[in-house]
């Protein structure tokens, strides 16, 4: 049975290379698709991760699609705040 | 003669709403396509701008395409550094 493997790497506040290596590792264990997801200020780092993976480590990976959106998160006061999000779909 | 108008708004370090209003104004004067461009840490703000425009001001605008890339910029030492970039194409 054919199966498209999808693996997601969530970008947080750790050094960029941690996430680069996480994405590269996913491709190395056989994933054909890796999704890089981030919210808020981590969005810039998500783009950095995708670019470094593509240019330096997995040069046959392509950006298949990029989606942006808005997520509603609870804040400390019990209200919700809107936070932008990004999903970058890399594929070999 | 038919013409596709393309207008670009570059995202810098000013408050987000300045850029939101710049994009909304472009649509209001008749542009059918507005491109939001940013580099480095401003990339997150570019996504915020696109989302706020789309959700609050120009609700018939769609994200037509998103491109990411790497640009080489000269640094103070006369060398070049790589900076990630984003282009968000909004269309009515």
Q: CATH number, domain at A56?
A: 3.30.110.20
Chain A with chain B: Cβ pairs closer than 8 A: 48
Query: In the structure encoding, which two tokens stand for residue B54, read together?
Result: 């789309």
Q: What is the pLDDT of residue B39?
A: 97
DSSP state of B57: I
Q: What is the pLDDT of residue A1?
A: 45
B47-74 tens-digit pLDDT: 999 999 999 999 999 999 999 999 998 8
Q: Give the mutation candidate from B68, B72, B81, B88 for the A interface (greatest A CB count, under 10 A).
A: B68
Task: List, as one string, the DSSP characters of A4-54.
Answer: --EEEEE--SS-HHHHHHHHHHHHHTT-SEEEEEEETTHHHHHHHHHHHII
Query: In the structure encoding, which two tokens stand for residue A73, read together?
Result: 């998160």
Q: Quick check: A82 pLDDT over 50? A: yes
With beta carbons less than 8 A apart as the criterion, state whether A61 and A27 touch. Answer: yes
Local confidence band at B1 (pLDDT 50, 70, 90 cut-offs): very low
- ipTM of this model? 0.87
B41–A42 CB contact, under 8 Å: no
Range(s) of the domain holding residue A24: 3-91
Counting every residue, how long is chain A? 92
A44–B84 CB contact, under 8 Å: yes
With beta carbons less than 8 A apart as the criterion, state whether B65 and B55 touch. Answer: no
Counting every residue, how long is chain B? 92
Q: How many domains does chain A have?
A: 1
């Amino acid at each position: 049975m054919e199966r498209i493997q999808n693996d997601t790497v969530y970008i947080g506040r750790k050094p960029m290379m941690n996430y680069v290596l996480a994405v590269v590792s996913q491709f190395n264990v056989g994933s054909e698709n890796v999704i890089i997801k981030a919210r808020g200020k981590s969005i810039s780092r998500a783009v950095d991760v995708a670019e470094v993976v593509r240019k330096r480590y997995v040069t046959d990976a392509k950006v298949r699609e990029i989606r942006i959106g808005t997520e509603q998160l609870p804040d400390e006061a019990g209200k919700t705040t809107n936070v932008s999000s990004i999903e970058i779909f890399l594929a070999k």
